[in-house]
């Protein structure tokens, strides 16, 4: 009995050290440990054009408070360099370029656009706006991105140069801008598409398409518990739609964990990422 009592303080100390190490990892290391993932572009119902590479990078959340929000201008520029080095043919940016709501930690919109404007892809760079972008100033954000050569598709579509493939952007659901039918209205019937949206809830109501569908917004919950998944998922999407490949009514979508953080500067078992579909 006395030996058990003597061991208990060491157990408590070991647990305290473990928790401190876990907290340090979740706050200081994992939010900055960006993964460059590779995922298949083709699938059983659609064969992508040979050799096509599509990079997806969402939820940048640039901030002047990089110790809290992680993504500084320099950090974002380094990620831009990584993506460019991978030589994608197309780049999709599914929203939330800025952190905060416009009255705090206000990173200049034009400065953000200048950083992301360095992204290069021969078939174009395309974007939709996220809820944080609307909270800052959606129209100004779209104008700044467009001035840097980034095509902003808010419930709109455009044919990819040199391909019978259409890029489609669906507006953000959480701020009331989602119009999937309008976004796809200009796409010829049966044409293949690269569809991006910020909030994955739009996937629930969008028509079935041939091609790739991607979303952001959730950050994978930022904390993912083994065997349970995301602790919290913003918006109306089910918790099961927090990250990775999602299947729904014969459709499938990839939800990225994004690059930045929101609310708390924490990630655990959910690394930030950009994804190359090829």
What are the residue ranges spanned by the domains of the chain?
Answer: 33-277
The answer to whether residue 83 scores a pLDDT higher than 80 is yes
The answer to whether residue 2 scores a pLDDT higher than 70 is no
* pLDDT tens digits along 85-117: 999 999 999 999 999 886 555 789 999 999 999
Residue 213: pLDDT band with limits 50, 70, 90 = very high
Class of domain 33-277: alpha beta
The answer to whether residue 1 scores a pLDDT higher than 80 is no
* pLDDT tens digits along 238-252: 999 999 999 999 999
Q: What is the 3-state secondary structure (H, E, C) of the chain?
A: CHHHHHHHHHHHHHHHHHHHHHHHHHHHHHHHCCEEEEECCCECCECCCCCCCEEECCCCCECCCHHHHCCCHHHHHHHHHHHHHCCCCEEEECCCCECCCCCCCCCCHHHHHHHHCCCCCCCCEEECCCHHHHHHHHHHHHHHHHHCCCEECCCEEEECCCCCEEEEEECCCCCCCCCHHHHHCCCCCCCEEEEEECCHHHHHCCCCCEEEEEECCCHHHCEEECCCEECCCCCCCCHHHCCEEEEECCEEEEECCCCCCCCCCCCECCCCEEEEEC
Residue 214: its pLDDT value, please?
98
Contact 250/210 with Cβ under 8 angstroms? no
Residue 14: its pLDDT value, please?
79
């Amino acid at each position: 009995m006395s030996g058990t009592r003597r061991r208990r303080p060491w157990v408590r100390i070991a647990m305290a050290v473990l928790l401190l190490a876990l907290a340090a990892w979740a706050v200081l290391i994992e939010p900055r440990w960006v993964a460059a993932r590779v995922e298949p572009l083709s699938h059983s119902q659609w064969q992508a054009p040979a050799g096509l590479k599509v990079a997806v990078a969402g939820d940048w959340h640039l901030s002047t408070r990089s110790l809290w929000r992680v993504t500084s201008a320099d950090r974002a520029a380094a990620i831009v360099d990584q993506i460019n080095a991978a030589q994608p043919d197309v780049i999709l940016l599914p929203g939330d370029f800025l952190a905060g709501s416009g009255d705090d930690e206000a990173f200049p919109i034009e400065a953000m656009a200048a950083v992301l404007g360095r992204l290069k892809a021969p078939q174009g760079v395309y974007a939709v706006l996220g809820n944080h972008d609307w909270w800052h100033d959606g129209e100004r954000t779209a104008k700044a991105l467009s001035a840097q050569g980034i095509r902003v598709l808010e419930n709109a579509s455009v044919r990819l140069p040199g391909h019978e493939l259409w890029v489609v952007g669906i507006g953000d659901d959480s701020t009331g801008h989602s119009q999937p039918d309008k976004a796809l209205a200009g796409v010829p019937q049966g044409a293949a598409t690269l569809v991006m949206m910020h909030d994955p809830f739009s996937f629930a109501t969008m028509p079935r398409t041939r091609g790739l569908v991607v979303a952001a917004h959730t950050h994978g919950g930022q904390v993912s518990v083994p065997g349970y998944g995301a602790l919290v998922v913003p918006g109306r999407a089910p918790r099961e739609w927090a990250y990775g490949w999602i299947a729904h009514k014969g459709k499938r979508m990839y939800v990225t964990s994004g690059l930045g953080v929101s609310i708390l500067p924490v990630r655990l078992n959910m690394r930030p990422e950009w994804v190359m579909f090829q």
